[in-house]
Structure 1
Amino acid sequence: MALGSDIEWTESTWNPVTGCNKISPGCKYCYAERMAKRLQAMGQPNYKDGFKLTLQPKMLELPLKWKKPQTIFVNSMSDLFHEDVPLEYIQRVFDVMCRASWHRFQVLTKRADRLAELSPEIDWPKNVWMGVSVESATYVGRIDDLRSTGAHVKFLSLEPLLGPLPKLKLKNIDWVIVGGESGQRARPMDPAWAIDIRDQCARADVAFFFKQWGGKNKKKAGRILDGRTYDEMPEATPLPVVSAPRAARSLPIMG
């Protein structure tokens, strides 16, 4: 079965890579690091090395076994474009996503420079949405790197939003997600920052999704922004209503 997710903008997660390391302020209180340590303590074999970057080849073809078409967040516990993930392995991940054409895949990275560098070496299926994380104005250059790629759907995850992002360049961007940081040491998000980004998206005709306020109790804080919820998604080819082809589901696991 797919691993269901409580992330508001996706349905399931798939982790052909686990582990990572911090590269910018948005990583400071990384939820994936906390979760990896918890799973390690529980004896989960994929996390025997905790949050050390680890390729998980036995997980590569998992989506081919999932019959129901769904939206899948790739590497919720890592970064596919980490410098220690070989190009050949990234290409294998993209090959699986291409073959699993009845699913929609969402890939998110903070390593936008490597994403841009490797983009010409990647075959970009239409069912793959590619995004970059931008937590403050210091890192808006990641958006230009994303824009240079061959991805058919491009999105921004502005979470945890740690400062204002005025005058975003949203040309050729299809979707923007905004969210505050959650956890015991969460840094606060000013409502004015989120409202300004919402207004920029409206002017640029870009789909806007407000994920959460965050804080110590994110469920209590909720996700109402300026009196309503925002659940907009980019226009994309609808997922098929049919089940996965039998031949694709029977493929052996690589690695």
Structure 2
Amino acid sequence: MSSRSRIEWTETTWNPTTGCDRISAGCDNCYALALARRLKAMGSAKYQTDGDPRTSGPGFGVTVHDDVVTAPLRWRAPRVVFVNSMSDLFHARVPAEFVARVFEVMAATPQHTYQVLTKRATRLRRLAPDLPWPANVWMGVSVEGLDVADRVEELRRVPAAVRFLSCEPLLGPLDGLDLSGIGWVIAGGESGPAARPVDPVWVAQLRDACQTEDVPFFFKQWGGRTPKARGRVLDGRTWDEMPVG
């Protein structure tokens, strides 16, 4: 199963796993956790496992879905796919064998482009040697502040065709962030009732760093109570740059 996505930098989502646990400041107002709670209340079968209330919540316990893994094999039209918008494929409770199955399906469907994003960069780096890395798999890490910049160092050790950073929600300046080996940067402000504001200076500095290093830059949103509350125009234009190939 897949669903058309409202996320500006992808086309569809594929969730062979669901559920997660908060591990850093970027997780504090997790949209997926709130959505899982609603989906559980609506009776959605995929969201009936509860997570630890200290780090997760109702319907957000880590769950693997064997019936979903092979779905891309049945998709004929090429598409750009965000893998696990409702989970983290490299969560410790996702078996390594299951991670490998997901990668095998991605390798078997070269007509699609897959965008995999994790906050668990250390486990990513440890599992990477045992995974196939076809050209259609883009691998990224979340970097909401310099306190988690070590994730970028781990990502650089992964043999992905495209390595990318998701700096969303951007919670502080990323001055001096090393972009060597990085092929794409996404940035954005937080959205939701408790959204923390993003300083335009932080965004502009990150955009300038990308331009200096010739790294494609995608600005997703300023954020606010809703994702579109403040639009996505930066310095008079939208920034929708994507990796080539």
Per-residue deviation, 1:84? 0.8
Which residue is equivalent to 1:142? Answer: 151
Which residue is equivalent to 1:240? Answer: none
| In 2, Cα distance between equivalents of 1:14 and 1:2 | 5
Identity of aligned residues (%): 56
User: TM-score with structure 2 length normalisation?
Assistant: 0.95
The one of 223, 226, 229 equivalent to 1:217 is: 226
Per-residue deviation, 1:64? 1.0
Secondary structure in 1 aligned to 2:220?
strand
Which residue is equivalent to 2:36? Answer: 36
Per-residue deviation, 1:114? 0.6
Q: Residues 80 and 114 of structure 2 are in contact (CA less than 8 Å); yes or no, is this contact kept in structure 1?
A: yes
Report the residue type matching 2:207 in the other structure: R
Per-residue deviation, 1:111? 0.3
User: TM-score with structure 1 length normalisation?
Assistant: 0.91
Which residue is equivalent to 2:86? Answer: 77
Count of aligned pairs: 236
Q: Show CA shifts across 1:65-104 (max 9, x none).
A: 1111000000000000001111111000000001111100
| In 1, Cα distance between equivalents of 2:2 and 2:16 | 13
| In 2, Cα distance between equivalents of 1:201 and 1:109 | 21
Per-residue deviation, 1:165? 0.3
| In 2, Cα distance between equivalents of 1:40 and 1:66 | 27
| In 2, Cα distance between equivalents of 1:93 and 1:217 | 32
The one of 112, 116, 120 equivalent to 1:111 is: 120
Q: Is 1:200–2:209 an aligned residue pair?
A: yes
| In 2, Cα distance between equivalents of 1:142 and 1:219 | 28
Q: Residues 212 and 222 of structure 1 are in contact (CA less than 8 Å); yes or no, is this contact kept in structure 2?
A: yes
Report the residue type matching 2:42 in the other structure: M
Which residue is equivalent to 1:15? Answer: 15
| In 2, Cα distance between equivalents of 1:52 and 1:196 | 37
Per-residue deviation, 1:220? 2.8
Which residue is equivalent to 2:74? Answer: 65
In structure 2, do the counterparts of structure 1 residues 79 and 13 end up closer, same or farther at CA, with 3 Å as the change threshold?
same
Secondary structure in 1 aligned to 2:228?
helix
Per-residue deviation, 1:218? 2.6
Which residue is equivalent to 2:56? Answer: none
Which runs of 5 or more residues in structure 1 are unaligned? Answer: 237-255
Q: Residues 175 and 233 of structure 1 are in contact (CA less than 8 Å); yes or no, is this contact kept in structure 2?
A: yes
Secondary structure in 2 aligned to 1:64?
helix
| In 2, Cα distance between equivalents of 1:187 and 1:99 | 40
Which runs of 5 or more residues in structure 2 are unaligned? Answer: 50-58
Which residue is equivalent to 2:24? Answer: 24
4+ residue runs over 3 A deviation: none
Q: Residues 10 and 82 of structure 2 are in contact (CA less than 8 Å); yes or no, is this contact kept in structure 1?
A: yes
Which residue is equivalent to 1:176? Answer: 185
Secondary structure in 2 aligned to 1:46?
helix
Which residue is equivalent to 2:47? Answer: 47
Which residue is equivalent to 2:100? Answer: 91
Q: Residues 2 and 66 of structure 1 are in contact (CA less than 8 Å); yes or no, is this contact kept in structure 2?
A: no
